Amino acid sequence: MAKKNFYAVKKGKTTGIFRTWEECRASVAGYPGAEYKGFATSAEAQAYLAGETQDAPAENTPDSCKRFPRAARQAEAADLAALVEPLPPGALVAYVDGSFDVKSGRYSFGCVFLPPSGEVVRESGSGDNPESAALRNVTGEMLGAMFAVKWCEANGYTALRIYYDYMGIEMWAVGGWRAKTDLTRKYANFMREHGKRLDISFQKVAAHTGDPYNEEADRLAKAALTGPKGIPPIAVNTGYVHPPQSTSGP
C-alpha cells in the first residue's frame, strides 16, 4: 500500500489538505460528522475534496490555457513548492511539456531528464496523426509523459518523478479525472500498467514562472514542431547527455 503523504479534510474545524496525520487529527478530533481521508498524492487529495473522480476540462485545451495573470501563477508556484514530496532514492526526474501548431496540425513534446549522476538529457518528438491532433497540445503532454516512462525503464531506473504543468498528466494517471476519449483512456491505462513495476510520482509546476527545466521542456516542445517528425529512439546510457558546464579558475 502506498504511503499516505496527504490528508484531505472535507468537514472539520479546518478544511483543506494537510501533510501530516497530526495536523489532520487536530482538525477533525471532536468535530461532529468529520469527513477526511489520506492519499498518496496531492492530486488524489484534491480530487477527493472536489468530489472524488471528476470530469476533466475540455481535453482539446490549447496552449493558451496555461496563460494566467503573473501574480496568480506565482501564487500557485509558491503553493506547489510547499507540497513537494521527498524524492525516492535514485529516482529519475523528468520535466515534460507539450505544444501544438494549428497551421500544420502537428503536436509535439519536450522532455528534460535529470539522472541522479548530474547529467541533463534532452529529448523531443512530434507527430501529425489527425485523430491525435484533435487534442492539440494535450496529446504532446501525454506523449512526453509516456516517453519519460519508457526512457526511465530502458535505462534501468525503478522510480520516476514527472514534473508537468498540465494537470491532466497526473489526474488521468491516478484516476482523479475521468478519461473521456480513446487517447486519454490509452494514456491512463498505460500509466497504470507501467506503474505496477515502476514507482511513478508526479509534481505540478506552475507554467511560465521561471522554473528553468520547465521552461526548457517548453522550448524543446516548440522547436520540435518545425523539426523532423516522429518519436526518437530511446538512448540507453549514452546519447543526448550534456554534463553540467564547468568553470575554469583564473
Q: What is the pLDDT of residues 135-179, one digit of tens each?
A: 999 999 999 999 999 999 999 999 999 999 888 999 899 888 889
Stronger pLDDT, 209 or 83, i.e. the higher one: 209
Q: What is the pLDDT of residues 98-125, one digit of tens each?
A: 999 999 999 999 999 999 888 899 999 9
Distances (CA, A) of 179 to 100, 171, 174, 176, 230: 20, 9, 11, 9, 25
Entry pTM = 0.68
Are residues 8 and 49 in contact, defined by beta-carbon separation less than 8 angstroms? yes
Are residues 199 and 152 in contact, defined by beta-carbon separation less than 8 angstroms? no
Are residues 173 and 195 in contact, defined by beta-carbon separation less than 8 angstroms? yes
**Look-up: residue for cell 511539456?**
97
C-alpha cell at 187: 494514456
- Separation between Cα atoms, residue 235 and residue 213, nearest integer Å: 20
Q: What is the pLDDT of residue 125?
A: 97
- Average pLDDT for residues 65-86, to the nearest whole number? 47
First to last CA, the chain: 54
